[in-house]
Amino acid sequence: MTPPETTATLAFGSIGTVLGTLLAGATETGVAWLGWRDSPGARARAAARAGLPVVDDPDRLAPVLEGLAGYFGGEPRTFTLPVDWRLTSPLQRRVLATLYESVSYGEVVTYGELGARSQAGVTAQAIGQVMGSNPIPVIVPCHRVVASNGLGGYSGGSGIEVKRWLLTLEGSLPATLDWDLHTGPRAEP
C-alpha cells in the first residue's frame, strides 16, 4: 500500500525591520519566498506564483523570522535555513544555490566570479538578471553580488540604497558617520 500523496502548502509570516515589513513564505521543504512588503495583495501574488494553497502555520515560519530578526539586529549571520527552490528555473537554482552555499556574511563576489563559481556558462549580465529575480533576497544574499567596478544594481526594497545598507550592516562597506543600525537607508534629497 502506498502512502497518500501530500499536497505542498505555503505559510506566511512577517517581520518588521528597519527596511520595512518583510513577508516570508515557507513550504514544508523550506523558505521559498521573501518579499519587501506585506499586504493581502503581496500574499496573493506569492501564493499564485507558487501555485500552492496557503495555510496558517506559525511554527513553520518561526526559524525564518527568528533568523531575520537576528540578522537585522546586527548578529553576523550566514543563513543555514532549508530552502525550497520551486520558484526558480534550473539556471536560477544553480546560481542562487552556489551563492547561498558559498558567499558568507561580510563577503562579496562579482557577477562574473559568481558565474564562474556556479559553472553556469553565462555572462555577468545574465547573473545580474538572476540576482534581480531572486525570490528569497537577504536569505539568499543577492546583495553580496557586486559589479567589478562598483556596487551594481539592486531591485530589492527601495533599490541600491538598500543594497548599500545591507553591505554596510555586514561590514563589506565602511559605515558613513550617519549610518545607524536602527534607521534604514536615507533617501537622496
**Residues known to be catalytic:** 142
Is 21:31 a contact under the CB 8 Å cutoff?
A: no
Q: What phi and psi, each to the nearest 5 degrees, are found at residue 107?
A: -100, 155
Q: Whole-angstrom Cα distance, residue 54 to residue 21? A: 19
Give, in order, the Cα–Cα distances in Å from 182 to each of 73, 115, 148, 185.
Answer: 8, 34, 30, 10
DSSP β-ladder status, 109-110 and 145-146? parallel
Q: Whole-angstrom Cα distance, residue 169 to residue 32? A: 24
Is 94:120 a contact under the CB 8 Å cutoff?
A: yes
Neighbours of 8 (CB within 10 A): 14
